[in-house]
């Protein structure tokens, strides 16, 4: 590399690396705001895993000198290995925290342009400002009846005790639709094929196998997410 123009770096030992760099602009458009993720190494209780940060400048409007904000993400397994996150053209970041094929936790969240977790109306799990959790859509239908009552939302990648990625009523569970590959599949939600009934969020069940004969893996209640990418406002993700 004969002509290094600039070097921007963290203080020695602050992070393990800068693993990814992404921008808010579309390809071949003027560079927008820059976001990075960095590996960190620390115990679970300290939220070791990775961090997501926004740079204060994008090298065109100035050399970055600071992080506008950063968000520490506890991560192990897939989430640690691949940093599942992406940024929208509005500077909102979708990301996954947690572990894969484990017993603790894995969930997707969304950061607003200030780096704070925010409500997402049509996600199904919402943590309210009074400290309780509510499941349903839209977020504004929570018992307090206002979107302002919602602290933030998530998609939880757990099998037991949760009904994410599954139909909540028999009509959705029994519906037959195109599988996108020339065939059909049963169930409106992607994980329906693993279970023998819809899931009631007030009384979750997770009985298998589904109509396909398949069951979730025997070991762990946490699936974990492998890949996350935003394409023109659509969240594309792969869970395993």
Query: Interface with another protein by CB under 8 A: which residues?
Result: 1, 4-23, 25, 29-31, 34, 36, 38, 40-43, 46-48, 51, 53, 55, 58-60, 63-67, 70, 72
At closest approach, how far in Å is the CB of 49 from another protein?
A: 9
How far is Cα 151 from Cα 120, in angstroms, rounded to an integer? Answer: 10
At closest approach, how far in Å is the CB of 31 from another protein?
A: 4
Nearer to another protein, 48 or 154 (CB): 48
Q: Measuring CA to CA, how many Å separate 169 from each of 65, 145, 184, 198, 199?
A: 52, 23, 20, 6, 7
Q: Which two tokens stand for residue 213?
A: 């004969």
Nearer to another protein, 80 or 124 (CB): 80
Quickly tell me which residue has 């204060």 as its tokens: 56
At closest approach, how far in Å is the CB of 10 from another protein?
A: 4
Nearer to another protein, 43 or 219 (CB): 43
Of 194, 124, 130, 200, nearest to 156 by C-alpha is 124
Beta-carbon-side half-sphere exposure of residue 183 (alpha carbons within 13 Å) = 3
Nearer to another protein, 54 or 188 (CB): 54
At closest approach, how far in Å is the CB of 42 from another protein?
A: 4
């Amino acid at each position: 590399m004969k002509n290094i123009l600039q070097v921007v770096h963290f203080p020695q030992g602050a992070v393990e690396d800068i693993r990814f760099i992404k921008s808010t602009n579309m390809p071949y458009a003027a560079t927008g705001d820059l976001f990075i993720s960095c590996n960190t190494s620390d115990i679970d209780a300290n939220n070791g895993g990775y961090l997501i940060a926004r740079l204060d400048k994008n090298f065109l409007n100035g050399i970055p000198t600071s992080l506008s904000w950063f968000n520490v993400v506890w991560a192990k397994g897939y989430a640690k290995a691949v940093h599942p996150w992406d940024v929208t053209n509005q500077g909102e970041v979708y990301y996954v925290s947690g572990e894969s094929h484990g017993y603790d936790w894995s969930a997707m969240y969304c950061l607003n342009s200030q780096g704070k977790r925010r409500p997402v109306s049509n996600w199904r799990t919402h943590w309210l400002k009074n400290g309780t959790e509510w499941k349903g859509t839209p977020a504004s239908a929570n018992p307090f009846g206002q979107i302002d009552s919602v602290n933030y939302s998530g998609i939880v990648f757990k099998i037991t005790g949760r009904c994410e990625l599954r139909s909540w009523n028999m009509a959705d569970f029994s519906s037959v639709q195109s599988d996108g590959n020339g065939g059909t599949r049963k169930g409106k939600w992607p994980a329906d094929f693993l279970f023998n009934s819809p899931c009631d969020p007030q009384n979750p069940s997770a009985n298998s196998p589904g109509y396909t004969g398949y069951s979730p893996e025997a070991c762990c209640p946490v699936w974990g997410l492998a890949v996350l990418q935003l394409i023109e406002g659509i969240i594309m993700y792969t869970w395993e």
